[in-house]
Chains A and B, each alone.
Chain A
């Protein structure tokens, strides 16, 4: 049986803040349809590694290959195009606080697609429905709980139907029950959304 294709390869990656080395010689492959977890103690550089993989922090050494392309060797425009294959759920959900939950999910579609507003609205309802947040479409991020914010962040992350979903400590700050539900949701996203049949 053939192995799924590799969609991201990290080769000898080094990360540092000034003279302080955070990571060095990090290498791994991510395959389509798989769930890959990076674990470690607090402050060991997990989020920093994630940031370098999604274009927020340039590594000091090594390569990140997305498909066959060296991500950090591309220009800004190309990196932005590659980023559209990514969906990211940040540790704090990072919902844009001046927008409603629905607007948060809709903004990437408005910016990067030419879909009419009514179609975008239906898609937003769909994405929020996936995460059980359809009733909160018109609420502001400050009006919902931490778990709901995470789910709304997940709905935004899958707004553009990305190939790869990144989660930065998705269950941080959540109670065990909410955390377990979010884990189920992530599993569903990883299996059913990534490989629709």
Chain B
């Protein structure tokens, strides 16, 4: 009975184990299936350098013999192919034998070489006699077909231009049709939602809303904060040259509210939430979940697409408003720390500069209503807010008694000076 599996590779002794090359030697394991047990059993001394793999064709044309020596591993350069016409000089029906006594180690490279030899022998009309090979190599070689599959990559010629254009056109048309069909089905599902017949589960909608909205607050906030801060910093440096620093607030406010926050939020949502949707649908496709839906007759558009699209449709405007506020806050932080301006003054200038977007205006109104309602600005005996700041209100005509930045009647000092303390 054969002994325990032996390791026969370049990491072991330079000489092959006893019985190598004999049919009775049962286990010459490839390195990639080496066990810890055999690996630990290796001697502590460093392995001798691997011999270069060498082959020679000996014998006469009637009985050619391939003599192999050295270490036939990938690392030692054993992947050199055997020439296709390397056996062309052999006679038909002669038998090719092997001598592997000089082989000191081998792995897949050895088998790849032998496979080449086997094919060359076939081309030359020779018999391939593997008896002289190690038993494991014989078994591995027996697993391989006589010739590699005629892969398309090896001999694939590009199709004619006209055919490629036609294929591409049909592919684009097909994809357009599929997308249009999906869009129409989703729109149909959305209409059915209004009557409660879409088949969409509210639980799925709620889950998607959570994923598209609250879960995205952090990333949308970070991106917009940085955009606002960078815009303010760059704008401040440039506008300072013209003594127009105050317009940084307008710059940040207008740019973010009208363009940048919307774009940045959309990009973040496309990458984050859109990517998550694509991954989820792909996973469902791979797990046959979509097939299961189709077999049950549950429309994919209503079940998967509609909640996703509705949740994004609901959340995107809110995220845009949130992103705008955060971007303005980013600009605010930079500006207040670098300019001589009060926080409320900056915010007021910002909102003055933003054109009347309804949502933003609404937020502004709500924000400041709450701010003043909370009593941050005490009122005077006549019910008017009075200023303790710079004392030059251009609206009241009070000149020396009022702050010049104080707006008469509106209760807001654009530079945020407090009230109630007459100069």
Contact = CB atoms under 8 A, between A and B. Distances in A.
B204 A90 contact: no
A86 B291 CA distance: 13
A156 B297 CA distance: 14
Contacts of A86: 295
Contacts of A101: none
Interface stretch (B90-98, B145-153, B281-289, B388-396): B281-289
A97 B288 CA distance: 11
B288 A90 contact: yes
A90 B292 contact: yes
Interface stretch (A23-31, A34-42, A107-115, A179-187): A107-115
A67 to B, nearest CB: 18
A183 B199 CA distance: 35
B288 A111 contact: no
A56 B291 contact: yes
A80 interface: yes
A84 B298 CA distance: 11
Contacts of B199: 111
Contacts of A108: 296, 298
A25 to B, nearest CB: 26
A178 interface: no
Nearest to B207: A98
B174 to A, nearest CB: 13
Interface in B276-331: 283-284, 287-289, 291-298
Contact of B289 (A80, A81, A83, A95): A95
Given A88-B292, A111-B199, A94 B297 contact: no
Interface residues of A, number: 23
Interface string B361-397: 0000000000000000000000000000000000000
A22 interface: no
Contacts of B293: 96
Interface string A52-90: 001110000000000000000000000011011010101
B66 to A, nearest CB: 35
Given A94-B287, A98-B207, A83 B296 contact: yes
A56 B283 contact: no
A56 B295 contact: yes
A138 B25 CA distance: 56
B370 to A, nearest CB: 39
Given A90-B292, A98-B204, A98-B207, A111 B287 contact: no
B294 A56 contact: yes
A83 B284 CA distance: 20
A90 B296 CA distance: 13
Given A83-B296, A108-B296, A111-B296, A94 B291 contact: yes
Given A97-B283, A98-B204, A98-B207, A91 B288 contact: yes
A94 B292 contact: yes
Contacts of A95: 289
B297 A112 contact: yes
A153 to B, nearest CB: 8
Given A97-B283, A97-B284, A98-B207, A111 B298 contact: yes
Contacts of A80: 297
Given A90-B288, A94-B287, A97-B284, A55 B207 contact: no
Nearest to B284: A97
A18 to B, nearest CB: 11
Most chain A CB neighbours (cut-off 10 Å) among B204, B291, B294? B291
- Listed from nearest, the 3 A-B pairs whose CB atoms lie closest are A80-B297, A94-B288, A94-B292
Interface of A: 51, 54-56, 80-81, 83-84, 86, 88, 90-92, 94-98, 107-108, 111-112, 156
Given A80-B297, A90-B291, A95-B289, 20 more contacts: A51-B291, A56-B295, A83-B296, A84-B296, A90-B288, A91-B288, A92-B287, A92-B288, A94-B287, A94-B292, A96-B292, A97-B284, A97-B287, A107-B296, A107-B298, A108-B296, A108-B298, A111-B297, A111-B298, A156-B292
8 contacts: A83-B297, A84-B297, A90-B288, A94-B287, A94-B288, A94-B291, A107-B296, A107-B298
